[in-house]
Structure 1
């Protein structure tokens, strides 16, 4: 059997699809803007970070079917409560691994010792000793077809070849990272796809892939996922994510796969994080970005009638009471009008 190789030099040959290059340009522009704002409005970013952390922990686990109530998630994330069951123990592990990345990403790298250490943190409450160790048995990725029949969708790297494959993957990444002609934003999703195809752990591969995505993005200065949850975007568009993963893993074991569907999906999710972040500052130039100004701008800039709940979603760090007060004042001064009543109430520029 031929060994899978990890060679990312195809990224520097200039023959990349135009849509991918456009996405990287758009992301770079929004990244610059976010950087400028961060120095001015640190407080807003700090509040957004606290909200995004909860969303990330909730969504990354939800993708794997690990769920609990929002109240319990908040209690676990804020460490006010010990996990009560297996699902909550999984969630607490993700919280600690995510914190490790948030606080120390400069010192953590895409090397085996760090990957194993993160996995150990992820599995510390549930892993029965498997945390921090590669799989010892072969695993397969199953899918269930329309008739309810299980079939093998993908056969990851066999257990006995996993340590070698992981070593080659991390070395392949380091090699490509030092190549000035390779765009890091295109490289990161390729490495994450390969990680998912190796599937090096008995449990936690999907969550590890999202933690490692954030790690590599942060290390390259793309930190929108800290303020708008990257994992939540994936969870919201889960079907697209799995389809891109499926397309890019066809022929993987014989080095015949194409990375482009997965790169495009990955960059689209990151782009959405930056767009969301941008939306939260949609304010008239030169105006102080107070919560009041942000609420006013959100309603006035909306092309269609917008509900209180939608405003709360766009501005997660602003309390519903504040939103209500500002909307009331705006209706009274006549700058916006109220449409509908009760639960169907919407607001639009007068």
Structure 2
């Protein structure tokens, strides 16, 4: 079983936990944001999360390409692996956002999430939703993609079922006993999950999905509105270093949890600070916008895109006034222009 008696609550770790919890309470009391504003924040964060989490694993798609891909509701075929991963990740994220209260943390539910995460990947058809059957140690690769050495040994296929059963049992016991701070429980679950590496592929992406699920279940309701995956992508070297430093000690008598706990809490701190800045920036921007500009942004959030004719039809706005308003919103980087002439349309700017 996991030995968590070696966790050291240092002054920095305590300060991080306090700051994150303070924001958790402040977010709960935030009644000023309208539903459409929250929807816009979640839309941007979701695109960033999908992009970052899949790029960490090697995808090449940009956030803009992902947004355009997911706006094509009629898409039926997913020809490239990058597209398969993006679409699956988006679907599983939506499942978590909509049903997090109804997803107990059991091995079967973890396997179901894994199956859904690889749903569109033809390469992974045989092992989706099932624990690994061959070793999947984490290796170092040269520029040609050839493995040149083992960086970290994961659990063997034989040990994986028992290790996962123990981890899930530990999580649910800790939640019931409430002897550890909820954020420490989430952090330890994630690092041990990645140390086990229970599935043949998709472990990194699934760990980040599970992180979001566990944080929501722990009451951190702001998580869907700011991308933790984006923070991790921007700190990839620190992410892998902290994982390795802790993972190599997990099965010892005195595990060193500190490297991972500090990285994880600093990432959560950065996530909440980004969200705080976005909310402040949006409130300032909206306070300075005329009513027509706010209506345009609201329409774009609700429909994914907006054109001059939409606003004429909906509100009877003057074409000349609309032209100037659209230009102003593009200049302020709140909208992005697409097409030209009578076919011009606009979408929300990523990050606005």
Name the residue aligned to 2:39.
46
Whole-angstrom CA distance in 1 between matches of 2:133 and 2:332: 58
Residues 50-100 of structure 1 show CA distances to partners (whole Å, capped at 9, x for unaligned) of 111111111100001112244441133335234231211111111111111
Query: Given that residues 6 and 255 in structure 2 are in contact (C-alpha distance below 8 angstroms), is that contact kept between their aligned partners in structure 1?
Result: no
Partner of 1:108: 103
Secondary structure at 1:101's aligned position in 2? helix
CA contact (8 A) 1:9 1:176 kept: no
Tell me how far apart the structure 2 counterparts of residues 161 and 68 of structure 1 sit (CA, whole Å). 36
- Normalized against structure 1, the TM-score is what? 0.77
Equivalence for 1:308: none
* Aligned pairs (5 A) from 1:237-276: 237-276=235-274
- Give the distance between the partners of 1:255 and 1:111, measured in 2 at CA: 27
Closer, same or farther: CA 65–206 of 1 in aligned 2, 3 Å: same
Three-state SS of the structure 2 residue aligned to 1:160 is coil
Distance 2:240 2:190 in 1: 14
Q: Residue 32 of structure 1 corresponds to which residue in structure 2?
A: 25
Relative to structure 1, the CA distance from residue 36 to residue 268 in structure 2 (aligned partners, 3 Å threshold; closer, same or farther) is same
Deviation (angstroms), 1:239? 0.9
| Paired position in structure 2 for 1:324 | 331
Q: What does residue 292 of structure 1 align with? A: 286
Structure 1 unaligned residues grouped into runs of 5+: 296-318, 328-350
Q: Which residue of 2 aligns with 1:6?
A: 2
Is the CA contact 1:57–1:94 (under 8 Å) kept in the aligned structure 2?
A: yes
Aligned ranges for residues 1-350 of structure 1 at < 5 Å?
A: 5-8=1-4, 15-38=8-31, 40-80=33-73, 81-82=75-76, 83-126=78-121, 127-144=124-141, 150-282=148-280, 289=283, 291-293=285-287, 321-322=328-329, 324=331
Deviation of the 1:326 alpha carbon: 10
Does structure 1 conserve the Cα–Cα contact (< 8 Å) formed by 2:51 and 2:62? Answer: no
CA distance in 2, matches of 1:208, 1:325: 36
Deviation at 1:108, TM superposition (A): 0.8
How far the C-alpha of 1:291 sits from its partner, in A, is: 3.6
Contact 1:196 1:206 in 2 (8 A): yes
Structure 1 window deviating more from structure 2 (186-195 vs 273-282): it is 273-282
Q: Structure 2 length normalisation: TM-score?
A: 0.76
> Quick check: 1:145–1:151 contact (8 Å CA) kept in 2?
no
Q: Which runs of 5+ in 2 are unaligned?
A: 290-325, 335-352
Cα shift readout 1:298-348 (whole Å, capped 9, x = no counterpart): xxxxxxxxxxxxxxxxxxxxx984273699xxxxxxxxxxxxxxxxxxxxx
2:139 alignment partner, SS class: strand
Deviations 1:194-219 (A, max 9, x none): 00000000000000110011010011
2:151 aligns to what SS in structure 1? strand
Secondary structure at the counterpart of residue 127 of structure 2:
coil
What does residue 315 of structure 1 align with?
A: none
Change in 2 beyond 3 A, CA 1:320/1:155: farther
Change (3 A) 1:58 1:139: same
| Secondary structure in 2 matching 1:243 | helix
8 Å CA contact 1:244–1:265 kept in 2: the answer is yes
Distance 1:326 1:201 in 2: 42
Following TM superposition, where does structure 1 have runs of at least 4 consecutive aligned residues deviating by more than 4 angstroms?
none
How many corresponding residue pairs? 294
The CA deviation at 1:293 is 2.5
How far apart are residue 40 of structure 1 and its match? Answer: 4.1
Q: Let me know the Cα RMSD of the aligned residues.
A: 2.8
Contact 1:7–1:172 (Cα < 8 Å) also in 2: no
Q: Describe the SS at the equivalent of 2:102.
A: coil
Match of residue 312 from structure 2:
none
- 1:6 aligns to what SS in structure 2? coil
